[in-house]
Structure 1
């Protein structure tokens, strides 16, 4: 889902000017979330070209890895890990 969403936003990111402030025409997509309004502290997220390329790379590799793992091992791996005894160091000499 994130990969497809990012692909739909990619032309807008490439056409934007990263030197412009948020909210201006032709500025990169951004969002501002108030975090601590009493102190005027906000979380600002901006999607520039480098961030978009890295996100496409990370999401693409994650999607490829997910598609190569068989569906049966996705659920049984954790059950197998829980059934194994925990590791403990061997006693010294």
Structure 2
């Protein structure tokens, strides 16, 4: 019996996921941007290292997230492993009640 990871990798939408991941990786490599979580640079020469690039799903597949249809987030392997299957918090700007002019 195939593992769930093998099923995901050969399942519908994986080609779209790989395309989005590659676009994100190329953007980060071209601009020299570091990992947004830890601030350390990605190790492009050794992608399997802890500082190698990964494209993370904000809502993990293990907790019901979809393979496609999510905005991927760049992370190094170390940060992605620490995050695990937890859901990333969504931060929304605060709004003041109508008529309140307090900064």
Higher relative helix content: 1
So what's the TM-score if we normalise by structure 1? 0.29
Higher strand share: 1
Higher relative contact order (CA 8 A, sep 6+): 2
Which is higher, the Rg of structure 1 or of structure 2? 1
